[in-house]
Amino acid sequence: MSRYIELPAYEIVDRIKAHELMAEDYIASLYERIKRIEKDVHAYITLTEDLAIKKAREIDKKIEKGEKTGRLCGVGIAIKDNICTKGVRTTCASHMLEKFIPPYNATVVKSIEDEDGIILGKANMDEFAMGSSTEHSYFGPTHNPWDLKRVPGGSSGGSAATIASSMATLALGSDTGGSIRCPASFCSVVGLKPTYGLVSRFGLIAYANSLEQIGPITKDVRDCALLLSCIASHDPLDSTSVNKPQEDYTNYLIDDINGIKIGVIREFFGEGTQDSVEKGVWDAILKLEGLGANYQEISLKNLHYALPSYYIIAMSEASSNLARYDGLRYGYRIPDKSYDWSTVYSKDRRFGFGFEVKRRIILGTFALSAGYYNEYYLKAQKIRTLIKKDFEMAFKRFDVLIGPTMPILPFRIGEKVQDPLEMYMCDVDTVPANLVGMPSISIPCGFSMGLPIGLQMMAPPFKEDLLLRVAFSFQRNYPTLARLRNYE
């Protein structure tokens, strides 16, 4: 049975629908895998085994009766723990929300359940999605399945680790400045940040609303297209959700990139990029050229300012968003009842939030405060305009833009966590996509010293079809560059 859990979702769906595989057996063997290696990897915060087995039995009954089943029929899915699941605790990896049980489902969770997907549990992450290593979790770090002493990337590190180690077949993450693509790169899996507004954010616990999107983390590009097709739809509950017709993205999985124009972003190979990463990504670019694409290098002059601008905007939005955690209606409340309102409020937040969350709230409050607003927040939003224009110009010449996802290989647990600024620097190549709102995908493009390297591609807003086509062609022709961790 364990050979099934290594399969991508579309093969699982086919087998279940064809009566070749019982959903219950497959789900049970996923939990067997979880029981075997979760103690080493720690990818989950909460497991929902009883619910999942019950749902699997329901699906097996549906199949037996010949009833219609959804596109994710029986597939086991890990959900990042900042996405609300009705009746299942959703912690955001924070002490503040340790006991929070949402009274509603996020729209993406409803979509998955409507398509007969099965939720296996809630995946570990950096607290409130603030981090690039999953070390900032109240519940302890996730370990990279490729090297347990190293980080899986973040903030959706749990989600990516479940896919790399086949503790789930599909996963959802969220990406505010790279939080899907970074762990996808570090774990050798596929991660897509969709165009801003393509996927509903209703039920995603907010960190920085103008930047973040929910997206798929999967074993391969076909699964990525499948999961995206299920979650991308207009939602009246999210006022930033775009009203466009639903698409089946699997239609764009075409093995043909002849004549596609690729721009290689020179700034993405700047200071701080490891040689092994640079080499791995260039090898991939030459492979794409071999498949018929044309590439040219391009320089985007305002890209140097993307990282500080991103952090100023993200922290400012965070300081406003996280003001809601007062410990009254839900969340952590200090037991002592003798204090006044403001003291209770500030103690709830002292003990409820971890260091990184506090740092970002304090800096965000500072950047928005009178006398500093123009210098930080407003200035960063203006630079955002300049960066957006740089990309608009670039997309007049190129279909997709390309570079490394992460400038470095997965680093050791503990290596950067004491120095926040050094941690922020890891996001240098991923934040532009969030500032501009464009879609961006990370796909595996090989290994160096046994550690995965990720190739990042960006396209103009709502051109997910192009990204998926190029990514699919690459994987179809070089299938061995993406591997799952072998546990047999």
Partner 1 sequence: MIILVERKKGISKKEIEHVAWLARIEISKNELELFSKQLNDILAYFAKIDKVDTENIPPSYHVLDLVNVFRKDDVKPSLPEEIFQIAPQTKEKFVKAPRMA
Q: Return the active site residues.
A: 80, 155, 179
Of residues 75 through 134, those in contact with partner 1 by CB under 8 A are 99-101, 103-104
Q: β-strands 213-218, 170-175: how paired?
A: antiparallel
Near partner 1 by CB under 8 A: residue from 158, 331, 407, 460: 331
Residue 286 is a binding residue for partner 1 (CB under 8 A): no
Pair type for strands 213-218 and 261-265: unpaired
Which two tokens mark 404? Answer: 């490394």
Which tokens in the block code for residue 298? 């391009």
Among 4, 44, 268, 345, binds partner 1 (CB under 8 A): 345
- Give buried/exposed letters for 74-113 (b at 16+ CB in 10 A, else e): bbbbbbbbbbbbeebbbbbbbbbbbebebeebbbbbbbbb
φ and ψ of 429, to 5 deg: -95, -10
Of the pair 279, 350, the CB lying nearest partner 1 is at 350
Per CB under 8 A, contacts with partner 1 among 144-203 are: 196-197
Judged by CB under 8 A, which of 1, 254, 286, 362 binds partner 1? 362
365 is an interface residue for partner 1 by CB under 8 A: yes
Among 65, 68, 275, 342, binds partner 1 (CB under 8 A): 342
Residue (3 or 337) nearer to partner 1, CB: 337
Residue from 330, 373, 447, 487 that binds partner 1 (CB under 8 A)?
A: 330
Q: Shortest gap between Cβ of 315 and partner 1 (angstroms)?
A: 9
Does residue 36 belong to the site contacting partner 1 (CB under 8 A)? no
Footprint of partner 1 on 290-309 (CB under 8 A): 302, 304-305, 308-309
Report the nearest approach of partner 1 to the CB of residue 119 (Å): 20
Reported as half-sphere exposure (CB side, CA atoms, 13 A), residue 40 has a value of 15
Identify the residue among 128, 207, 269, 376 touching partner 1 (CB under 8 A): 376
With binding defined as CB under 8 A, does residue 234 bind partner 1? no
Report the C-alpha gap between 250 and 204 in whole angstroms. Answer: 25
Please identify which residue in 361, 451, 467, 471 interacts with partner 1, judged by CB under 8 A: 361
The least distance separating partner 1 from the CB of residue 122, rounded to whole angstroms, comes to 16
How far apart CA 275 and CA 411 sit, in angstroms, is 15
Of 14-22, 54-62, 322-330, 468-476, the window that binds partner 1 (rule: CB under 8 A) is 322-330
Pull the structure tokens for residue 246: 């639903």
Among all chains, which residue has been given the structure tokens 């002592």? 336
Angle between helical axes of 23-41 and 49-65 (0-180°, round to 10): 160
**Phi, psi of 297, rounded to the nearest 5 degrees:** -85, 150
Identity of the residue, 150 or 333, whose beta carbon is nearer to partner 1 in the bound complex: 333
The minimum distance between CB 156 and partner 1, in angstroms, equals: 21
420 binds partner 1 (CB under 8 A): yes
- Closest CB 407 distance from partner 1, rounded Å: 16
Distance set, CA 37 to CA 145, 262, 485 (Å): 9, 40, 12
Q: Which stretch binds partner 1 (CB under 8 A): 216-224, 275-283, 372-380, 405-413?
A: 372-380
* Contact residues for 455 (Cβ-Cβ < 8 A; gap 6+): 280, 281, 284, 402, 404, 405, 442, 443, 444, 445, 474
Cβ 478 to partner 1 shortest distance, Å = 33
Q: Of residues 71, 201, 287, 333, which one binds partner 1 by CB under 8 A? A: 333
DSSP 480: G
